[in-house]
Amino acid sequence: MEGMAAKLNAGNRYDVIFPTAKWSQRLAAGGRLRAIDHTRLKNAESVFGGYDYFADPWYDPGSRHTVPFTMYKTGIGWRRDRLGDLTGSWDDLWNAEAKGKVFVLDDRDEVLGMGALKLGLDVTTGDPGDLARVTDTLRSLRPRLRGFSSDSYNNLLNGNADMTQAWSGDMAAMLAQAEDPPSSASKSPARAPPSTPTATPYPPTRSTPAPRCSSSTTCSVRRT
């Protein structure tokens, strides 16, 4: 994401970009994104009218500059044939039987969010005391880890992991490919991180009006 921001700041212009929610917020605050006219998006009501979260997300009030590309949950995937059933909380990552065979996502925000949720804190807390507690909690997990990896799909299938923090889409794909699906399982703990969209913001432009967008994409005119 830092590379994308650097290209925009260097003067490059794009029709559509795919930043994370956090970077959408930063780019919008910096005046780098063009406002979207929702009336020109054929399926806007299906998204913004059907999901309150996207109608006024924290990263872009009123979704003025972004539309969601995807959403997911973060949870835990595990080998049921090795660990049996779990409790359904983030505490399961500290399971003694899985020690040394646990992965967490190679994603700073997801791991910090998991630590906050384990403690019952808001994932957006900026309180120094809360952040110190989250840090201490994650430090207690570090000796139990095999590593940091976002390849949850293969880590479970090939046996590298007995348990892993994982994105819901990867777990759905993994269960579909497993030779013995009942031997594996996944669950989003009761306090799962909120769905996080990848957005498609628009860069500032003074060009002619945008052409009609298709039902499944958003688009704008490149500045000339």
Q: What is the pLDDT of residue 223?
A: 34
In degrees, rounded to 5, the angle at the alpha carbon of residue 128 between the alpha carbons of residues 62 and 31 is 30
Question: How many CB atoms within 10 Å of residue 95?
Answer: 19
User: Is residue 180 within 8 Å of residue 80, measured between CB atoms?
Assistant: no
Q: List the one residue out of 61, 60, 87, 67 whose CA is nearest residue 76.
A: 87
Residue 18: its pLDDT value, please? 85
- pLDDT tens digits, 108-154: 889 999 999 999 998 888 899 999 999 999 999 999 999 999 988 88
Same fold, 13-70+196-210 and 74-187: yes
Q: What does the H/E/C string look like for 2-17?
A: HHHHHHHHCCCCCCCC
The answer to whether the CB of 213 falls within 8 A of the CB of 40 is yes
Q: Return the pLDDT at 180.
A: 62
Summarised one tens digit per residue, pLDDT across range 43-79 is 888 888 888 888 888 889 999 999 888 777 889 999 9
Q: What is the mean pLDDT of the chain?
A: 78
Confirm whether pTM is higher than 0.85. Answer: no
Listed by start position, the domains of the chain span: 13-70+196-210, 74-187
- Fold for 74-187, please state it: D-Maltodextrin-Binding Protein; domain 2 (3.40.190)
Specify the CATH number for 13-70+196-210; select among 3.40.50.2300, 3.30.1740.10, 3.40.190.10, 3.30.420.40.
3.40.190.10
The pLDDT score that the predictor gives to residue 44 is 86
For residue 179, what pLDDT is reported? Answer: 64
Percent of the chain residues topping a pLDDT of 90: 29
